[in-house]
Every structure is written in C-alpha cells, then in structure tokens.
Amino acid sequence: MGIGAPVFLVNYKTYAGTTGDDALAFAETIERVRDETGSRFAVAPQLPDLRLVAERTTLPIVAQAGVPRAESGMGDVTLEAVANAGADAVFVSHPEHEAALTAVDRAVDRCAELGLESIVAVESLSTARMALAAGPEWLLFERPADIATEEGMVRTHPERIEAFVEAVADEAPETRTFVGGGVRTAEDVSRAFDCGVDATGAASAAVGADDREAWLRSIATAVPTADSSRCGSNVNG
C-alpha cells in the first residue's frame, strides 16, 4: 500500500523497550493515535519484529535496512525477506547504514520489482542529485551530526530543506521528500512540513518520551491531514 504522504515515521532503531511485546504495544499506541486524530503515521520496527507489527496492525511498515538477495551474505537482511514479512518501504541507505550509490541503484531496482517503496538518504544537494538518478520513491535529507540532537536543520537551517525540496521537485517531481535528524517536538514537525517535505519522523524523541501517547498526540496536531504539504511549493504530494 505504500506509506503515503504527508506522514510521520516513528523509527524504533535499536532502542531498548522496542522489541517483542513492547514493539507491538508501542505500534498499537501509534495506530490508536492515528485512528483518533486522522493524522498519518508509519513505523519502522526492529527487523525481527517486522512481521509481528505488520500482521497485528494496519500501520504502514518501513524496514530499517535491506539488500538484494543476490548481493547478500550471512547476517544480511534481504529485500526479499522484508517484503515477505509485510514491509511497505525500506531504507536502502541511511546515515547510520550507508550504501554506495552503485549499490543503491541496484537496490532501488529490486525494490521496484518487489513492490517496496525505496528510501535513499542524502546529506547534501549534490548527493541528492546523484541519488535521484536511481529513481527512488523517497529521498531522505538528513545530516549524521543532527541525529538524536536538538539542533536539526528544521531549527537551524530550514532554508536548506526548502532548497532540497525545490531541487527534487525540479529534477524528479515523482520522488517524495523526507527530512530527519533532530526532530523532537510538534513545532519541529510544523517547521518541516512548512518547508514543503512530504514526511518527517523521529526515533529518540519518540522512544524516550515520558508519555509516548501524549507525545504522539502532540505530533499529530502538526501533521497535515490532506495528501499534500502545507507549503504550496511542493508538487510531490
């Protein structure tokens, strides 16, 4: 079904308290907030729990990683496996799990064959333009230094996000845009969507919230409910 837009992604990464029954309980909370607010959410559980969350909720599911089976070795998680487990999308590259552009190109092609939406991470406009050649469904703009901080681009350099959105719209209007890194509050989420992106998300802020449901409800107030961003310049919606 894809992950849709506009959307807020809750990424479990490898944080404590996000595996097994805890993973499912958190996902069910996200699902309840989505249903009661009308705001779109997606979730990226730890890979061993991907099937559990996919089968027990109706949330869009994002796999945190995956490689084509043809290029895999022992210990790798394949794109084929995450698709079979119920993923709707997959990070084929991420600031914490980088892949060479040549590998990204092959992974994006295999995702298309499997019906997975591909998410490719970039940290600059120059790498964004190179990554667009692979034809991913999503391009994530995130700087490694912003991860789990309070100094993300949504606060410090929103103009860079706007330039990123404009560049993608000019060169590949079918590709959706995503910004991450340092997103912690509803105000941050509003800033992100005001810059024109189709998606944003958080990991540490979501998992570490004292009251996760209350935090999610605050975030929901900042996620647009229509299938477009609040910034009229974005044509990806």
pLDDT score recorded for residue 237:
38
Q: Looking at residue 224, what is its pLDDT?
A: 95
* Long-range contacts of residues 99-107, Cβ cutoff 8 Å, at least 24 apart: 99/67, 101/130, 101/131, 101/134, 103/67, 103/71, 104/131, 104/134, 104/136, 105/133, 105/134, 106/68, 106/71, 107/66, 107/67, 107/68, 107/79
**Which pLDDT score, from 0 to 100, does residue 150 have?**
72
pLDDT at 225: 82
User: In Å, how far are 20, 49, 106, 156, 207 from 16, measured between CA atoms?
Assistant: 11, 13, 33, 29, 9
Quote the pLDDT of residue 97: 65
| Block mean pLDDT (10 aa), the chain, length 237 | 93 96 98 97 98 98 96 94 98 74 86 97 89 95 73 87 96 95 94 97 96 98 71 39
Per-residue confidence (pLDDT) for residue 228, from 0 to 100: 44
SS (H, E, C) 133-152: CCCCCEEEECCHHHCCCCCC
Structural domains in the chain?
7-220 (3.20.20.70)
Query: Quick one: pLDDT at residue 3?
Result: 94
